[in-house]
Structure 1
């Protein structure tokens, strides 16, 4: 075989592989388009890989794209079921997709797995060394936060007047319109301490550097979880406001944990 013939053969082989990868990509896209991947479809993907002689390097070209497309289709309802998670992981393995290339998607899968576990009564258990727990008490949620309370932030007098002196005769005058002012207090919600919020199977605890409290669930009359915080309403009429500045805070996780522990 001549030098140029060898180059031509390599070029033809390369173009043939490009065409095969393109055809595989097209069929793969059709398979995962509906967000449902059956066992038969998984077997079809395996068969196509073998028929086209695709290597792990070849799959890197289309694997991440296909995995993300499948992930997007399955997340169209904002819920990843256990079956969908299994399908995604199967696609990931078949297409040799590395975790570091789909870190965002894998983090979402782990979060949905945690939510499903909590819904099924399997709550996370956090080992803590600095919290004195009661017998059979377990910590299910722990995160740094700040405690906010309504406080008087400013006081001022308003409405006072010395009045006007009116002379009615020589050496005789009256002062009219004189009255005392009143003190006005301005209130606002301010940070009073920083620390950690712990949710256990028995109570909610705030452990701060200057102020701490706990609320057993019998004293709890309501709670509201926000995207960045939590309001705790107690039977004493006091509301505790917790703010989470930590980006690791997951409102859905805290909501489900509280829903579980408060009905036990």
Structure 2
């Protein structure tokens, strides 16, 4: 009777699978602490699986779980270097993780690797804008789905009216005190006014929408504030600020990085 057979006999299949899963996971996690998986380490892990009671599905889930940890560790600081990016996809190939896991990883790191590239002095991305004709010498550096918001009156209500007190002076004459006429009050709120694309070019900020579009040249920009889900900016040619909301948190930081580069270069 072999070694694994003796363990099965002693602990039972259920407990054996759990112990083997824990051991494999620990081995994998330890092996890739340095961001890479040596051939010798991979051979040991695959050999251990071949002699275990784990199914292919169990092993695949285990490898995918460890791979997710690798990606999460790499994006923890919201920046992914070229070396980290290469390491992630090398490990994905070595572990033969599922295609959906690889695609998930690609989506997770796409912004953070671009953040690192831009901050390191890399060339700003150039693409094709949606629903915008570029001017001569103008390049589109970013075009993302967005919603234009504005402060508008959302409701009105009547308030402030008072009957006051009526005091008799002489017969047929009364004196009213404290009577006030009511007034209409407006309640404002930030509401969506148009859906479309927020576009950053080397000359201006543009919102190209289905109901409303705006364009602000950089030399007319006087203020810009970044938020987790969007940004607000003001122009010398408009009294109210523009408010734009994005669909992803990372897009706000991306806008900040690109605008900063364009204003300071």
Same fold (TM over 0.5): yes
Q: Please give the alpha-carbon distance, in whole angstroms, between the structure 2 residues aligned to 1:49 and 1:158.
A: 75
Q: Counterparts of 1:84-233 in structure 2 under 5 Å?
A: 84-119=84-119, 120-128=121-129, 130-161=131-162, 163-171=164-172, 173-177=173-177, 178-233=179-234
Gaps of 5+ in 2: 9-16, 51-55
Aligned alpha-carbon RMSD (Å): 3.9
Residue of structure 2 equivalent to 1:30: 30
1:203–1:85 Cα change, 3 Å = same
Whether the 8 Å CA contact 2:229–2:249 is kept in 1: the answer is: no
Q: 1:147 to 1:74 in 2, by over 3 A?
A: closer
Matches of 1:189 and 1:53 in 2, distance apart?
57
> Take 2:26 and 2:86, find their aligned partners in 1: how far apart are those partners?
23
Counting matched residue pairs gives 243
Shift of 1:182: 4.4
User: Equivalents in 2 of 1:35, 1:229: separation in Å?
Assistant: 36
Q: Deviations over 1:120-178 (max 9, x none)?
A: 3332322136212111212222233322222233444543445555443344x033224
Deviations 1:202-250 (A, max 9, x none): 1111223333221111222222222222211333553111123x35973
Greater Rg over alpha carbons, structure: 1
Contact 2:28 2:45 in 1 (8 A): no
| Distance apart, 1:77 and its partner CA | 4.0
Give 1:26 deviation, angstroms.
5.8
Q: Indicate the SS of the match to 2:83.
A: helix
- TM-score with structure 1 setting the length: 0.71
The aligned counterpart of 2:240 is 238
Contact 1:167-1:174 within 8 A present in 2 as well:
yes
For residue 262 of structure 1, give the secondary structure of its aligned residue in structure 2.
helix
Whole-Å separation in 1 of the counterparts to 2:241 and 2:229: 16
Q: TM-score, normalised by structure 2?
A: 0.71
Distance in 2 between residues matched to 1:161 and 1:81, nearest whole Å: 68
What is the aligned counterpart of 1:42 among 28, 38, 43?
38
Query: 1:24·1:48 contact (CA, 8 Å) conserved in 2?
Result: no
Can you list the C-alpha shifts for 1:79-110, whole angstroms capped at 9, x where unaligned?
Answer: 43221222222222233334324432232133
Q: Which moved more, 1:206-215 or 1:59-68?
A: 59-68
